[in-house]
Chains A and B, each alone.
Chain A
Amino acid sequence: MNSARGLALRSRTRQGLLREPRRASSVLKYVALTLFAIPWVVLPLWMVVVNALKPLGEAQALSLALPDTWAFGDNLDTVVNDGHYLTGLRNSVLVTIPAIAVVLLLGSMAAWAFARTRSRWLRAAYYLTTLSVLLPPAIIPSIYLLREIGLDGTRLGYALVTISARLGLVIFLTTGFVRALPEDLEDAASIDGAGPWQTYRHVLLPLLRPILLVGGVILMITVWNDFFFALFLLQGEASATLPLTLFQFASSTVDTLSWNLVFMHVVLTSLPLIVVYLFVQRRVLSGLTEGAVKG
C-alpha cells in the first residue's frame, strides 16, 4: 500500500522534471481517448437506445437522430408479449442467482481447504479444478450425461453444468487470496474452540469478501449473458433464459431484423445487469485493478 508515497513522489517528479510537456500531452491524451470512446462505446449504445424507441419504418434507416414518432410503449409491448421477455427474465434470475450463490459458497470452501493443505492429493485436485478455467467445457457429452440422469433440457441440469464450469475460476482466484492471508486468525479461532465450519463462517468468509465480490461480478456477467450453454442445454420456451429469448425473437423474422424490436430486447436484456453493476461498480473496478487476478 505504498500508493500514497508513490503519488507524492510522482507528483514531485511531475512538478520538477516534466511539468510543461506533461500538461500539453495530457490534454492531447484525453482528446484522443474521447475521440476513441465515441465510436467505440457512445455511438453503439446511443444507436441501440434511440432506435429502440422508433417505429419499425424509422428504425430500419439505423440513423442516429431522435425518433420523429416515439414508439416506446408499442415496442415494449411487442417484446414483452412476442419476445417472451418476462419468461426469460424469470428463468435468468432463477438460474443465475442460485448458481452464483452455490459457486461462491462451494468455491470458497474448497479454496480454504486447498490453500491450507499439505496433502498431495488435495494439491492434485486443486490443479485439476483450476484447469477447468481454461479448458472448453464439453457440451455434447454434458447433454448425454444430463439425459442419462433425466435432467436434459431443464433449468436444474443447465445450472449444474454452469456451476461446475465456473467453480474453477472462483477456486483459482480465492485460493491465491487465502494463501496470502496469515493463518493466525484461524489458529486463534480453533484455540477458542471453534469448529471448522464456524471458523469458515465467522473468520474466513468475512475476510474473503473483496475477492468474492470480484468473483461474483465476473460470474454474474458470464452466467447472465451465457448463450452457448443455454442453446444446447435448455429446451422449450418455458425454460428459456434471456439470451435464448432474444435469439429466438430476433431469428423469428425471416428476411431482415426489425431493428427497433431487436434493440428494445437488447436494452431490456442488458438493463438488469447494468443496474446491478452500478451499485457495486466502484468496489469492483478498484478490486480488479488492485491486483485481484494476481491474488
Chain B
Amino acid sequence: MASTTLTPEAGAPEQTAVRSSDPTPRRRKSPREGGHWPWFALPAVVLVAVFFALPFLLNAGFAFSDWSGFSDEIGFNGIDNFRTLIDQEIFWPAVRTTLLYAVCVLVFEMAVSLTLALALESTTRINTIFRSLFFIPVLISPLAAGYIWKGMLATNGPINGMLSFLLPGTVETAWLGDPTTALPAVALIEAWKWSGLITLVYIAGLKAIPKELLEAATIDGANAWSRFWRIKLRMLAPALTFNVAVTLAVALMAYDVIAPTTGGGPGDHTTTLNIAMRLQWGQSFFGPASALSLTVAVLVIASAVPLVMWMRKKEVAQ
C-alpha cells in the first residue's frame, strides 16, 4: 500500500514528460484552475485563523497581563504572573510534574503499543479480533477512563484483589492516593486510553517495510531479535517519530484523566500545568492561568515540533 501511494507522487514529473504528445498540455491549463482553487481553502483558513491562531497569539499577551475576574481593565504587568506563580511554589512543581507525566505516558504507551504491533502485525482473523479488542479503550472518553480506573485501582478494587490472589498477603495499596504511585498510575490510564490507536500506526509502519529486506535477513541467519533491532525499528523511524510527537503533545496537555482520578493530589503530586491552570481560572486569576497555558504551549513546541521537523526532513531526503 505504501508503495502504491508513494509511486504516483514520485513518478508524476516523469509521467508528464512521457506524455508530451498529450493534446492538452497540463502546464497551460493549471494556472487557470489555480485561479479557482484558492477559494476552496478560504473558509477553513479563516476559521483556523480566527478561532485557533488568534487566541494562540492573544494568549502570549494575556500571560503578561493582570486580567482577572475582579476588574474589567486588562493591563500589561510584565512577568508578574510568572513571578507570583513561582513565589507560590506552583510554577516549577507543575512544570516538573507535567514533564514527568509526559515521560511516564510515553514509556508506557510506546512499550505497550510497539509490543502489540509486533505481535499483531499480520492481518489474520485472530489478530483482527485482538486489534479490535485493544482498540476499545480508544473509544472511551478520557474522563470515563479516569472513573473506570479509579474503580480498578481503589484500595478494595480488582487490581489489588488480583495482586492479593497472586502474591502472599493482602495488597491494599492506595495507588492513586500514595504520593509515589499516583503519578505513574494516572499516566498509565492515559497510556491505556491511547495505546490501541498508536498500535495501529505502528502496524501501518511495519507493513510498509519491504518484505524482501526481512527475508534476506532471515536467510542470512538473523533471528527475530536482531531483525527487530537492526531492521524493523530503523524502518519504523517515521511512525515512531509521529507517535512520539503526538503522544508528547497530548500528554503535556493532560487534564481529562487527572481531574476525575486525583484532581491534582495527593498534595500537588499530580498537579500538571493544565490542572494548575484550571485552579487559577477557578479563582478568577485569568493572567496567571494564561501564563500556565502559555507554558504548556512552549513545552509542546519545544518537544514535539523539532521531532516533526526532523521527520519531515527525513521524508524529503527519501
A289 touches B123 (CB 8 A): yes
A161 touches B51 (CB 8 A): yes
Which of A43-51, A68-76, A77-85 lies at the interface? A43-51
Query: Does A1 lie at the interface of the complex (its beta carbon under 8 Å from any beta carbon of B)?
Result: yes
Q: Which residues of A contact B290 (CB under 8 A)?
A: 140-141
Q: Which residues of B contact A6 (CB under 8 A)?
A: 211
Query: Does A180 lie at the interface of the complex (its beta carbon under 8 Å from any beta carbon of B)?
Result: yes
A81 to B73, CA, bound (A): 42
A191 touches B24 (CB 8 A): yes
Query: Does B4 lie at the interface of the complex (its beta carbon under 8 Å from any beta carbon of A)?
Result: yes
Interface centre among A129, A132, A141, A231 (most CB of B within 10 A): A141
B296 touches A136 (CB 8 A): yes
A293 touches B242 (CB 8 A): yes
Q: Which residues of A contact B167 (CB under 8 A)?
A: none
B41 touches A140 (CB 8 A): no
CB within 8 A of B260: which of A125, A137, A182, A247?
A247
The minimal Cβ–Cβ distance linking B124 to chain A, given in whole angstroms, is 10
Query: Does B141 lie at the interface of the complex (its beta carbon under 8 Å from any beta carbon of A)?
Result: yes
A138 to B2, CA, bound (A): 36
A242 to B205, CA, bound (A): 35
A134 touches B55 (CB 8 A): no
Contact (A294, B208) CB under 8 Å given A62-B156, A180-B5: yes
The minimal Cβ–Cβ distance linking B112 to chain A, given in whole angstroms, is 8
**Contact-size category for A:** 35 or more
Contact (A128, B53) CB under 8 Å given A51-B151, A62-B158, A138-B59: yes
Contact pattern, B 8-49, Cβ under 8 Å of A = 1, otherwise 0: 110010010000000010100110011011111101110110
Query: Does B316 lie at the interface of the complex (its beta carbon under 8 Å from any beta carbon of A)?
Result: no
B300 touches A144 (CB 8 A): no
Query: Does B62 lie at the interface of the complex (its beta carbon under 8 Å from any beta carbon of A)?
Result: yes
CB within 8 A of B41: which of A37, A114, A294?
A114
Q: Which residues of B contact A289 (CB under 8 A)?
A: 123, 131, 200, 203-204, 207
Contact pattern, B 256-281, Cβ under 8 Å of A = 1, otherwise 0: 10011000000000000010011001
B48 touches A168 (CB 8 A): yes
Q: Which residues of B contact A242 (CB under 8 A)?
A: 141
A259 touches B151 (CB 8 A): yes
A225 to B142, CA, bound (A): 7
Q: Which residues of A contact B278 (CB under 8 A)?
A: 231
A134 to B157, CA, bound (A): 36
Q: Which residues of A contact B274 (CB under 8 A)?
A: 228
A294 touches B238 (CB 8 A): yes
Q: Which residues of A contact B242 (CB under 8 A)?
A: 293
A257 touches B62 (CB 8 A): no
Q: From DSSP, what is the main secondary structure of chain A's interface residues?
A: helix
A182 to B135, CA, bound (A): 33
Which of B88-96, B178-186, B246-254 lies at the interface? B246-254
Query: Does B159 lie at the interface of the complex (its beta carbon under 8 Å from any beta carbon of A)?
Result: yes
B201 touches A288 (CB 8 A): yes
Query: Does B154 lie at the interface of the complex (its beta carbon under 8 Å from any beta carbon of A)?
Result: yes
Query: Does B136 lie at the interface of the complex (its beta carbon under 8 Å from any beta carbon of A)?
Result: yes
B37 touches A117 (CB 8 A): yes
B41 touches A122 (CB 8 A): yes
Contact pattern, A 216-239, Cβ under 8 Å of B = 1, otherwise 0: 000001001111100110000000
Query: Does B103 lie at the interface of the complex (its beta carbon under 8 Å from any beta carbon of A)?
Result: no
CB within 8 A of A190: which of B29, B139, B152?
B29
Q: Which residues of B contact A171 (CB under 8 A)?
A: 44
A119 touches B119 (CB 8 A): no
Contact (A110, B158) CB under 8 Å given A293-B242, A294-B208: no
Given contacts A164-B51, A273-B139, 20 further A-B contacts (CB under 8 A): A13-B218, A48-B148, A62-B157, A109-B41, A110-B44, A110-B45, A113-B38, A128-B53, A136-B252, A140-B281, A160-B51, A161-B52, A167-B52, A182-B12, A196-B36, A196-B39, A225-B142, A289-B203, A289-B204, A293-B204
Q: List 29 A-B contacts (CB under 8 A).
A: A33-B119, A37-B134, A39-B159, A44-B148, A51-B151, A106-B44, A109-B44, A112-B40, A122-B41, A129-B45, A135-B249, A140-B277, A140-B281, A145-B58, A167-B44, A167-B48, A183-B26, A225-B143, A242-B141, A243-B143, A246-B144, A247-B260, A266-B147, A270-B140, A285-B128, A288-B200, A288-B201, A289-B203, A294-B238
* A-B interface, 6 closest residue pairs, ranked by CB to CB distance from nearest: A225-B141, A164-B51, A141-B58, A141-B55, A138-B59, A110-B44
- A-to-B contact residues, CB < 8 Å: 1-3, 6, 9-10, 13, 17-18, 29-30, 32-33, 37, 39-45, 47-48, 51, 61-64, 106-107, 109-110, 112-114, 116-119, 122, 125, 128-129, 131-132, 134-142, 144-145, 160-161, 163-165, 167-168, 171, 179-183, 186-187, 190-191, 195-196, 200, 221, 224-228, 231-232, 242-243, 246-247, 250, 257, 259, 262-263, 266, 269-270, 273-274, 277, 281, 285-286, 288-295
- B-to-A contact residues, CB < 8 Å: 1-6, 8-9, 12, 15, 24, 26, 29-30, 33-34, 36-41, 43-45, 47-48, 50-56, 58-59, 62, 116, 119-120, 122-123, 126, 128, 130-144, 147-152, 154, 156-159, 161-162, 192, 197, 200-201, 203-205, 207-208, 211, 215, 218-219, 238-239, 242, 245-246, 249, 252-253, 255-256, 259-260, 274, 277-278, 281, 286, 289-290, 293, 296-297, 300-301, 304-305, 308
